[in-house]
Amino acid sequence: MTDLQLGGVSRWYGNVVAVNDVTMTLGPGVTGLLGPNGAGKTTLLHMMAGFLAPSRGTVTVDGASTWRNPDIYRHLGLVSEREAVHSFLSAYEFVLASAKLHRLAEAEAAARRAIELVEMTDAQHRRIGTYSKGMRQRTRVAAALVHDPQVLLLDEPFNGMDPRQRLHMMDLLHRLGDAGRTILFSSHILEEVEQVSGTVQVIVAGRLAASGDFRTIRRLMTHRPHVFAIHSSDDRRLAVALMGEASVNGVDIDRTGLTVRAGDYGSFTRALPKIALAQGVRVRRLLPSDESLESVFSYLVEA
Amino acid sequence: MNATIIWMTARGLFGRRRFLFLLPLPVLVIALAALARSAGVDPRHWAPPVLIGLGVAVVLPVVALVVGTGVLGSEIDDGTVVHILSKPTPRWQIVVSKLAVAVAVTAVTVAIPMYAAGVLAESVRLGLALAAASVVGTLAYSTLFLALSLVTRRPVLLGLVYVLIWEGLLSNLVRGTRVLSVQQYVVALADRMAGSPLLEGSVSVPVALGMTAVVAVGATLLAVERLRSFNIAGETG
Amino acid sequence: MSEPTALASAAEPAGVIHDIGYHRYDGPRRGRGYVAGSLYVHSLRTAFGLGRSAKAKIFPWLIVGITGLVAAVLVAIRAQTGLVPLTYAQFAEAMSWLVIFFVAVAAPELVSRDLRSGVLPLYFSRPMSRPDYPLAKLAALITAVWLLLGGPQLLMFIGAAFTVNGGLRAVWDELLDLLPSLLYAGLWAVVFASVGLVIASLTGKRAFANGGIVAVFLMTTPVVGVLSVLPSRTVNELAYLAAPSTLVTGVGSWLFHDLVATEGEGSIRIGDFGPVYAAVAGALVATCVLLLLARYRKVAQS
């Protein structure tokens, strides 16, 4: 179990503040670092990986500072955003070199395992220069995993991957996270984060805007109404009855059904069955229509 | 010294076409020396322009510049240095390993034609002296240029400024600056070892050796220190 | 059972595109000459770092500063003592290393940057014919080098005009010395810019272009040194063809011999081979231009 801790971390370049007073603790499992482009995700990741010094604050892995401390790399793997990789080597040579640089006892076996993990066994002896973007990405992930790190940092890892590769990578990250490793990956694509992790750190304009389970975050935003899509046996009747309910802010009816905007999640969910029962309306479907991360994200960004 | 890094650096250097563009320089030295010798020209006339003017003043620094800035600079330039740095390898090991490759490649590429030209000019002793002095010069140049590639984003340009303007122009005009010119150290050492009338050093040998050591050690320490604080900025930086 | 479709009785969703005043441009368009001219001016500014960050201005203006300083010193010496250490034409020769350095820095800024950032398709999808691009760049670099040499020469002339004795007649003599020297400076510019630009156009990395241009110029000087001491007189007189700087000096000593000729070790003796030098210089420039045109024909199609 390894903890990655950031305490009051800020980083500025002259007048531009890239990261503004971020405090967070990352524990075992998969965490998504979510934010629009230019929010400071890469800057934050580079500070965590020891490639950038914070202008203020501390970044520690299990208590040890990450800056100017090559020893952290024994337990930390980084997959950076830049695609760069030594194109004159083959994937096997590259991962093997990584294993040797980590001074692993059985470097060849570790390299083979890592390459199998990312499904690159077939192409491993070809030059990296001949690979597609997704293959290069997977090679870099293999090199970052070869020493079995406790902490894995990935900067936009799904860039350039096709859907099948993406699924495979997500599965891999899940398994690693379930095994107790601390995994952080950054993305600006909501679906990716939604599918891989329930825990999210949202960073907007250099500030940490929200942390934790995204459904909980959503629920905490009580000043925005929750939106539900309801299909029932008698939409209009239900709509009229719901409008009389205090926790309901608005009701829309259209061809697809009923859309209800509720101000108070708790009261509404308790009141709806009672109202439906009283009106004799059968509710066929009740879906929160904005539970996805997208609405969290856009609400946070617009906030 | 780290064998893996040496291997990777050597592969990177030789695996690219650009290394071949360096070869015309040493070949030219040998070709000119052979031409002059076969035409029976008095060595006193052709040795200074070929041995010093081309060999020590051009071939040695240019090869050292291209190789020295290439071993680390090209990785910094295309971003692959991340892979080397995200390992628990001590930074001094990385610097020393890359230096070993740079010095070895440059020394061989320069010492061979210098030896050949020296033999063609006068004697085996001159050839050996020139080769040995070139190796010493390689130490100074390679460390200097490797450090330069960690200090600035345009190490080749600054290296050329040093070679052309400092060593080429000023050292010829202002005698005092010769104490700070690697080219002069090489000439002085070769002069002392060969004892030949063809060479004329203007810096004393202890100064030459001492300054070479200072430059080599100083530049290496600087490079290690800069590598420890090497940072990769994010999208905004 | 309410039918949702009955509710959607509104008509087909209506749409309107508002006129916010966007129009295609129908006015007069300037021709190919304007495009090429703009590229020329832009490249000329780039060579001196104008319109770019402060760092890009350091090297070009450093060199301008040095040449200007030398010219100023010459003016001062002439004003004080009446001696002429360097004539206008000899000034151009003395500055040859600085010219090489300037070309080594400026040529990659002009062409290597475009290659690296992959903007050539953007250039060539404009109403500009393929040869215009390299020719405009070449013209800009030639102009830049000519200004680098001609500016200080002009400075020397102005200084001389104010300090020389003999009234208008003397000033007129000075002018007659200056004009051919400006032409000579132009010759330096044409040869050096052509060679430098071709080398720079081979690579997108500025570091390689810098080093390559310097290496080519540096390599050729010792060749001249060796050839000029070989026992054959013909070879000695033709030796100066091997390096661009001595090539131009050779042409200069043929065309402007009384302006350029110096006594002592700096002089070069080319015997009767003056026309050969001029022909070789012309062939060199023509070859470089053709190589440039060929280079951009290929790159444009890739």
Per DSSP, the residues of A73-137 read GGTEEEE-SS----TTSBHHHHHHHHHHHTT-TTHHHHHHHHHHHTT-TTTTTSBGGG--HHHHH
| pLDDT tens profile A105-114 | 999 999 999 9
Q: Which residue type, as a one-letter code, is found at position C234?
A: T
Going by the DSSP 8-state scheme, the letter that residue C240 receives in this structure is G
Q: Which residue of B has its CA nearest to C223?
A: B32
Tens digit of each residue's pLDDT (9 = 90 or more) over B28-86: 999 988 888 888 878 888 888 888 888 898 899 999 998 999 899 888 888 889 999 99
Tell me how far apart the alpha carbons of residues B101 and B74 are, in angstroms, rounded to a whole number.
Answer: 14
In this model, does residue C222 exceed pLDDT 90?
Answer: no
Residue A97 has pLDDT above 90, yes or no: yes
Kind and range of the H or E element at A203?
A: strand A199-204
Written as one letter, the residue type at C179 is L
Q: For tokens 């090429």, what's the residue?
A: C36
Tokens of C179: 């004009």
- Predicted pLDDT at C177: 85
**Which of B98, B235, B185, C144 is closest to A43 using CA atoms?**
B235
pLDDT above 50 (res B159): yes
What pairs with residue A13 in β-bridges? Answer: A16
Closest CA to A292 of A217, A211, A186: A217
CB distance from A51 to chain B under 8 Å?
yes
What pTM was estimated for this model as a whole?
A: 0.81
Determine which of A86, A95, A153, A204 to mutate to test the interface with B (most B C-beta atoms within 10 Å): A86
Between B18 and C34, name the one with better pLDDT. C34
β-sheet with A4-13: strand ranges across: A16-26, A4-13, A56-61, A64-65
Q: Which tops the pLDDT comparison, A67 or C4?
A: A67
Residue C103 structure tokens: 């070309």
Q: Which tens digit of pLDDT belongs to each residue from C71-121?
A: 999 999 888 887 788 888 888 888 888 899 999 999 999 999 998 888 888
H-only helix segments in chain C: 4-7, 32-47, 54-81, 88-94, 96-107, 113-117, 120-124, 132-163, 167-200, 206-227, 233-238, 244-255, 257-260, 274-301
**CA A158, A159, A163, A164: dihedral to nearest 10 degrees?**
-60
B136: tokens are: 């010493």
- Strands A16-26 and A4-13, by their bridges, are antiparallel
Instruction: Work out the average pLDDT over B179-186.
Output: 86
Strands A29-34 and A182-187: parallel
Residue B228 has pLDDT above 90, yes or no: yes
Tell me B22's DSSP state. G
Q: Give the model confidence (pLDDT) of A146-187 as tens digits.
A: 999 999 999 988 877 888 888 888 899 989 989 989 999 998
Residue B207 CA to residue B213 CA, distance in Å, equals: 10
> Other C-beta atoms within 10 Å of C301: how many?
8
Per-residue pLDDT averaged across C174-181, rounded? Answer: 87
- C-alpha distance from C3 to closest chain A C-alpha (Å): 8
C153 near C182, Cβ under 8 Å? yes
Looking at per-residue pLDDT, the higher value among B49 and A45 belongs to A45
Amino acid identity for residue C50 in this structure: L
Give the type of residue at B180. L
Nearest to C226 among B18, B50, B160 (CB): B50
- The mean pLDDT of chain C is 85
In chain A, % of residues over pLDDT 70: 91
User: Of C104, C210, C221, which has the smallest distance from its Cβ to B53's Cβ?
Assistant: C221
Confirm or reject contact between B85 and chain C (CB < 8 A). Answer: no
**What pLDDT does C251 receive?**
87
Residue of C nearest to A255 (CA): C4
Name which of A39, A60, A40, A38 is nearest A49 in CA terms. A60
**Mean pLDDT, chain B, integer:** 87
pLDDT at A255: 86
**Sign of torsion over alpha carbons B79, B83, B88, B90:** negative
d(CA C47, CA C109): 7
Rg (alpha carbons) of chain C, rounded to whole number? 27
Give me the pLDDT at residue C128, please. 84
Residue A110 · residue A66 · CB < 8 Å: no
This complex has an ipTM of 0.85
Partner-chain contact C1 A236, CB within 8 Å: no
pLDDT of C221 strictly over 90: no
* Preferred mutation among B86, B98, B230 to probe A, highest tally of A CBs within 10 A: B86
User: Could you give the CA distance from residue C274 to residue C296 in angstroms, rounded to a whole number?
Assistant: 34
For chain A, the average pLDDT equals: 86
Could you report the per-residue pLDDT of A21-36, keeping only the tens digit for each?
A: 999 999 898 999 988 8
Neighbour-count burial for C266-300, b at 16+ CB within 10 Å, e otherwise: eebebeebbebbbebbeebbeebbebbeebbeebe
Mean pLDDT of C204-224: 87
Stretch C185-214: mean pLDDT, rounded? 91
Min Cα separation C199/chain A (Å): 26
Give yes or no for residue C1 having a pLDDT over 60.
Answer: no
Name which residue leads in pLDDT, C19 or B229: B229
Q: Is A240's Cβ below 8 Å from some Cβ in C?
A: no
Note the pLDDT of residue B175. Answer: 74
Rounded CA gap, B180 and B210, in Å?
Answer: 11
pLDDT at A293 over 60: no
For chain B, the C-alpha Rg in angstroms (whole number) is: 18
pLDDT for A111 equals 94
Angle formed by the axes of helices C167-200 and C132-163, to 10°?
150
pLDDT of res. A264:
76
Nearest to A222 by CA among A134, A132, A299: A299
- At C5, the pLDDT band (50, 70, 90 cuts) reads very low
Measured between CA atoms, the residue of chain C closest to residue A257 is C4
- A52–B contact, CB cutoff 8 A: yes
Q: What is the mean pLDDT of residues A201-225?
A: 74
Of B48, B26, B33, give the one whose Cα is nearest residue B191.
Answer: B48
Name the pLDDT band for C141 (thresholds 50, 70, 90). Answer: very high
- Give the chain C residue nearest A231 (alpha carbons): C4
- What residues in B contact A84, CB-CB < 8 Å? 78-80, 82
Check pLDDT > 60 for residue B235.
no
The pLDDT of residue B109: 92
Over 90: is that where the pLDDT of B143 sits?
yes
Per-residue DSSP letter, B66 = H
CB-based contact A286:A224 (threshold 8 Å): no
Res. C289: pLDDT tops 90: yes
Task: Evaluate whether B205 touches B188 at the Cβ level (below 8 Å).
Answer: yes
Which helix (H) or strand (E) covers residue A60, if one does? strand A56-61
Tell me the CA end-to-end span of chain B in Å, nearest whole number.
33
Q: What is the pLDDT of residue B176?
A: 75
| φ/ψ (deg, to 5) at C268 | -120, 140
Backbone angles phi, psi at C51, to 5 degrees: 80, 10
CA distance C160 to B75: 54
Q: H/E element holding A284?
A: strand A283-288
DSSP state of A303: -
Rounded-to-integer distance, Cα A292 and Cα A214, Å: 9
Any A CB within 8 A of B230 CB: yes
Query: Scanning the structure block, which residue is given the tokens 């020397």?
Result: C156
| Per-residue H/E/C for B158-224 | HHHHHHHHHHHHHHHHCHHHHHHCHHHHHHHHHHHHHCCCCCCCCCCHHHHHHHHHHHHHHHHHHHH
Return the minimum-mean-pLDDT range out of A34-43, A144-153, C211-220, C266-275: C266-275
Residues in CB range of C66: below 8 A, 6 or more apart: C98
- For residue A108, what pLDDT is reported? 93
Residues of B in contact with A43 (CB under 8 A): 233-237
Amino acid at A139: T
Share of chain B above pLDDT 70, in %: 97
Contact residues on chain C for B50, CB-CB shorter than 8 A:
222, 225-226
Over residues B178-207, the mean pLDDT reads 84
Cβ–Cβ gap B87/A101 under 8 Å:
yes
- Per-residue pLDDT band for C6 (boundaries 50, 70, 90) equals very low
Q: Is the pLDDT assigned to residue C29 strictly greater than 60?
A: yes
Q: A47-60: per-residue pLDDT in tens?
A: 999 999 999 999 99
State residue A225's pLDDT score.
Answer: 61
Long-range interactions of B111-114: CB distance < 8 A, separation 24+: B111/B135, B112/B26, B113/B26, B113/B27, B113/B29, B113/B30, B113/B55, B113/B59, B114/B29, B114/B51, B114/B55, B114/B56, B114/B59, B114/B60
